[in-house]
Amino acid sequence: MTDPETPQQTLHRIPVQPWRWLPWLIASQLLVLLLWWQLGWGWGLAALVASHALFVVPVFLPNSRFYAPVVSHLPGPAVWLTIDDGPSDDTLPILDLLDRYDAQATFFMVGERAAARPELVREVLRRGHDLGNHSHSHPQSRFWALGPARMAQEIGACQQALAAIAGEPPRWYRSVVGMTNPFVGAALKRHDLARVGWSARGFDGVGCEPDKVVARIGRDLAPGAIVLLHEGSGHGHNLAIIQAVLQQLQAQGLSARLPRATA
Ligand SMILES: [Zn+2]
């Protein structure tokens, strides 16, 4: 943690105790029972709702460390561009843009999509960028609620698919829609994966308006920022957004580098 010789290690934090939440969950539910028994159902029910909220809310906070460590900011002057959801038809044009602006990025790929288009994965690596695990099938609406076996399968199968193409497994992981439930940590530990959050995002989902997305990202572009970007989205604006972000980085004199080069 404090060794200045291995800055990568400080960023690359694999969960050490992925089940540490479990005793707290059991203890909280015993406390609920005790309150219910001693003070009646009113207090018992309030305690039940509060205790469940305590364990559910962190799932929806992308930079919460409750269930697993997360990198949400970098030391040093560079910015970390992270591009989720590929590979896609956008991948090659994005690589050209990154070349043009002398920028590096980590592509958080979906295992199934990578397996279907391995030549794009190899091209990403050939041009000096990095890969990350972004689940095997990207089950967007259900990811937060996946049980332990399904979560292990989503993360493990993506890891396998990317390793088969790249020759080595990725070291970084990003949760689908940023949701990290109680079972993510164990899978990360098994695969030596470190979770990556973000500090700059544009909310480029449904109803995407590129100008507003870029303005929202732009507010948080600063040394050490981790920028959340996407490719292959149905709205078709990903390229324009990435180009505008690269322009803004250049205007601010910021460079986009992979984390091992920044520290
Ligand atoms: Zn995604």
pLDDT at 8: 47
Buried b (16+ CB within 10 A) or exposed e, 197-223: bbbbbbebeeebebeebbeebbebbeb
Which residues does the annotation mark as catalytic? Answer: 84, 230
Å from CA of 98 to ligand 1 middle: 20
The percent helix, strand, coil of the chain (3-state, each to 5) is 50, 10, 40
pTM assigned to the model? 0.90
What residues contact residue 97 under an 8 Å CB cut-off, 6+ apart?
Answer: 103, 239, 242, 243, 246
Å from CA of 10 to ligand 1 middle: 25
pLDDT at 3: 44
Å from CA of 45 to ligand 1 middle: 36
Å from CA of 84 to ligand 1 middle: 5
Rounded to whole angstroms, the Cα distance separating 244 from 247 reads 5
C-beta neighbour count of 119 within 10 angstroms: 11
Å from CA of 174 to ligand 1 middle: 8
Nearest by Cα to 196 from 33, 14, 25: 14
pLDDT in tens, the chain (263 residues): 444 444 445 788 999 899 989 999 999 999 999 999 999 999 999 999 999 898 888 888 889 888 999 999 999 899 999 999 999 999 999 999 999 999 999 999 999 999 999 999 999 999 999 999 999 999 999 999 899 999 999 999 999 999 999 999 999 999 999 999 999 999 999 999 999 999 999 988 767 899 999 999 999 999 999 999 999 999 999 999 999 999 999 999 999 999 974 44
pLDDT at 2: 44
pLDDT at 9: 52
Nearest by Cα to 49 from 67, 28, 63, 71: 28
Rounded to whole angstroms, the Cα distance separating 193 from 189 reads 6
What residues contact residue 24 under an 8 Å CB cut-off, 6+ apart?
Answer: none
Å from CA of 158 to ligand 1 middle: 13
Cα angle, residue 14 at apex, residues 166 and 152 outer, rounded to 5° = 65
pLDDT at 223: 97
pLDDT at 15: 92
